[in-house]
Structure 1
Amino acid sequence: MEGKVLARIAAIVFVAVAITAAIIEMTREEVPAPAPSAPSLARQVDPLRERQRRCQEMGEAAANDVECLGVWAETRDRFLGRAPAQSTPGPDGGR
């Protein structure tokens, strides 16, 4: 009999805690979250990116194009955070 009484008390405590939590949640004032700002739709024109596109469209011929080799060197330098090279690579790619 003592087990049943203990189970009933535990159930009553559980229900009381659940009701208290529900009441607290219902009385809480909602603070509106600030609306996320939309990213700017205006694209900045990057001349390096345009030259990369041209080299990409050239396909395998770009591997022998001096200007594309220079574009790739500039891209690599920008990615690695190095200062751009003063001279353009030769036909062998500066190797």
Structure 2
Amino acid sequence: MDGKMLARMGAIMFVAVAITAAAIEMIRNERAFPTSPMGLQQPERDPLREGQRRCQQLGQKAAEDSECLRVWAETRNRFLGRTPPPTSPSPGEGR
């Protein structure tokens, strides 16, 4: 066999492997995702998300809104995995 023939056979083998890998990946993706939207579930109502949307709609005014500041603090704590700071005990507690 000469060099040209070996190069052609190598190219054909490469293309065949690439096509096979693409076909396998396409089949795998079809199995991973349900085709009907019936399989998707709506998440439970999240008051934090609703607060974020409200603050987003306020725009620049949200920087002065105490509720938005609270929502942003809670979002930051949730993202960073922090536990919320303990609330101060009421006057009747701790005696």
Give the structure-1-normalised TM-score.
0.53
2:10 matched to 1:14? no
- In structure 1, stretches of 5+ residues that fail to align are 1-8, 88-95
Structure (1/2) with the larger helix percentage: 2
User: More relative contact order in 1 or in 2 (CA 8 Å, sep 6+)?
Assistant: 1
Equivalenced residue count is 72
Once the two structures are superposed, residues 38-83 of structure 1 have per-residue CA deviations (whole angstroms, 9 ceiling, x without a partner) of 3853331322111001011112221111111100100110111101
Once the two structures are superposed, residues 9-48 of structure 1 have per-residue CA deviations (whole angstroms, 9 ceiling, x without a partner) of 4158628x83xx76xx6xxxx9794422238533313221
Between the aligned residues of both structures, percent identity stands at: 44
- In structure 2, stretches of 5+ residues that fail to align are 17-22, 88-95
RMSD value, Cα: 3.5
Give the structure-2-normalised TM-score.
0.53
Q: Which has the larger radius of gyration?
A: 1
